[in-house]
Amino acid sequence: SFPDECEHVQYVLSSLALSFFELLLFFGRDEFYEEPLKDILGSFQECQNHLRRYGNVNLELVTRIIRDGGPWEDPVLQAVLKAQPASQEIVNKYLSSENPLFFELRARYLIACERIPEAMALIKSCIN
């Protein structure tokens, strides 16, 4: 019942997307098909289908990330985390494809898990 451009709806949808993204950081691609995450992903997809008309960028990004296998599956991200050589142009294109907060949440997760070399590689790429 809210208009598509309602600022409060956009804020709530962005908050939902960021919280859901943060939850996904704890799971690998193969866990997407196991209980209870399978059901949670199904509910998220159903909500996203109903909320698509609001055009929330963060919600769309999380949907794409789920479709692509999760927040850790992108090959460019994998190269960055492993400190493998990658074209700066390709890395920049990847880094600009998501909300910068998603990369910050990834870095915080890596630090919390004491995966410091990976966190530093990600942070360094974001700074560059």
CA–CA separation, 49 vs 25, rounded Å?
22
Q: Residue 17 in contact with residue 59, Cβ under 8 Å?
A: yes
Whether residue 121 sits in one domain with residue 63 = no
Task: Compute CA 1 distance to the chain's CA centroid, rounded to the nearest angstrom.
Answer: 28
Specify the number of domains making up the chain. 2
Residue at a domain's end among 32, 48, 70: 70
Domain assignment of residue 60, given as a range:
1-70
Whether residue 66 sits in one domain with residue 40 = yes
Q: Coil, strand or helix: which one is 83?
A: coil
Note if the pTM is more than 0.85.
Answer: yes
Whether residue 66 sits in one domain with residue 80 = no
Whether residue 105 sits in one domain with residue 61 = no
Read off the pLDDT of residues 79-125 as tens digits, 9 standing for 90 and up: 999 989 889 999 999 999 999 999 999 999 999 999 999 999 999 99
Whether residue 88 sits in one domain with residue 66 = no
